[in-house]
């Protein structure tokens, strides 16, 4: 095409920049992961974080790898990174041996990380909390210790706002653009969301309509509810968003917005394992930041909600 138009292509420059981009991508992916084989525990950790930001827990196992320590608990309120939603951070404190007295104030770990790994053979699931710091002040609990795990609630709430509004955005895209605009992936973090879908570029008026529709639904303050149902009951429901072709277990979780709580009659319903706001009003202001191409035929919407949207809106408006 360039030749037709009398242009030359800097192939060498392109290749150099492509290599640079590849090494950037590789560096970004470098994570220190604790192999599941290093963990003996096969009992799955019970996740109570849909309803609670704090939970007592018992240390089942402690695994040290390089500069990290993974503390495996029997119960966790920290959401482990899954389905596009980032993992929670939180604090682990040792609890006194007998119940009733106050929790020791010194945090055992700061900036704990939670993540999940599937043990393919045993089909069990382990939720782990890793302490990032290896400094002397970090007092790692022993197996058998009673601890209290507290989720960083403000961060979690910011993540939840972005997750619930991702569902509203998905719904609004179907209303404004097309029901064929299917989700290709998403990222849900405390600072923003991204939503990938296959479609032609959206027009400015479509983007404006999507943004307005989502904000209208937020102000309506409809309830958000979730329920677990057998997958066979919802597999053929076209009104419940799901990734067709994805392997779901026997039980799935439906997150719905609007309708009777858990009545499977909301205007937005999706199979989703993530954590959510209780009502759309919690989301606050919603703004679309950009809509761009990320691959052939795949668009990405980047958007912000809640305090992030307020922060951005607040810039330079006072005269």
Q: Contact residues for Zn ion (CB under 5 A)?
A: 272, 274
Number of residue whose CB is nearest Zn ion: 272
Min CB(163)–Zn ion separation in Å: 6
Min CB(88)–Zn ion separation in Å: 16
Residue 108 or 272 having the CB closest to Zn ion: 272
Q: What is the residue whose two structure tokens read 């990290």?
A: 68
Q: Is 102 helix (H, G, I), strand (E, B) or coil?
A: coil
Residue 73 or 165 having the CB closest to Zn ion: 165
Residue 214 or 272 having the CB closest to Zn ion: 272
Give the number of other CB atoms < 10 A from CB of residue 203.
11
* Residues found in the chain: 319
Compute the Cα dihedral for 190, 192, 196, 197 and give only its sign: positive
The beta strands (E) that lie in 170-285 are given as: 183-188, 193-198, 224-230, 251-257, 268-271
Min CB(188)–Zn ion separation in Å: 7
The answer to whether residues 133 and 109 touch, using CB atoms and an 8 Å cutoff, is yes
Residue 99 or 249 having the CB closest to Zn ion: 249
Min CB(192)–Zn ion separation in Å: 15
Q: What is the residue whose two structure tokens read 């052939």?
A: 296
Residue 148 or 277 having the CB closest to Zn ion: 277
Min CB(119)–Zn ion separation in Å: 25
Min CB(78)–Zn ion separation in Å: 18
Distance of alpha carbon 260 from alpha carbon 79, whole angstroms: 26
Residue 95 or 272 having the CB closest to Zn ion: 272
């Amino acid at each position: 095409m360039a030749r037709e138009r009398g242009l030359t292509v800097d192939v060498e420059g392109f290749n150099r920049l492509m290599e640079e981009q590849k090494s950037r991508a590789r560096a970004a992916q470098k994570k220190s992961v604790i192999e599941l084989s290093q963990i003996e525990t096969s009992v799955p950790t019970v996740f109570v974080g849909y309803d609670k930001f704090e939970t007592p827990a018992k240390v089942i196992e402690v695994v040290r790898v390089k500069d990290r320590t993974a503390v495996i608990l029997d119960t966790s309120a920290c959401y482990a990174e899954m389905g596009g939603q980032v993992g929670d951070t939180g604090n682990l404190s040792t609890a006194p041996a007998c119940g009733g007295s106050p929790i020791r104030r010194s945090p055992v770990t700061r900036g704990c990380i939670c993540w999940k790994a599937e043990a393919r053979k045993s089909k069990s699931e382990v939720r782990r909390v890793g302490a990032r710091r290896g400094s002397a002040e970090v007092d790692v609990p022993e197996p058998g210790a009673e601890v209290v795990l507290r989720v960083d609630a403000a961060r979690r709430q910011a993540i939840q706002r972005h997750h619930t509004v991702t569902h509203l955005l998905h719904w609004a895209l179907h209303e404004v653009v097309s029901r064929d605009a299917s989700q290709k992936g998403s990222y849900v973090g405390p600072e923003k969301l991204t939503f990938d879908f296959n479609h032609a570029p959206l027009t400015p008026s479509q983007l404006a309509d999507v943004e307005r529709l989502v904000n209208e639904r937020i102000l309506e303050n409809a309830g958000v509810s979730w329920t677990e149902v057998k997958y066979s009951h919802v597999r053929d429901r076209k009104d419940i968003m799901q990734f067709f072709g994805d392997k779901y277990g026997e039980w799935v979780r439906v997150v719905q917005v609007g309708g009777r709580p858990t009545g499977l009659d909301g205007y937005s319903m999706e199979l989703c394992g993530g954590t959510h706001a209780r009502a759309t009003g919690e989301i606050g202001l919603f703004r679309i930041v950009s809509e761009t191409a990320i691959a052939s035929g795949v668009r990405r919407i980047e958007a912000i909600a809640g305090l992030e949207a307020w922060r951005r809106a607040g810039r330079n408006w006072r005269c």
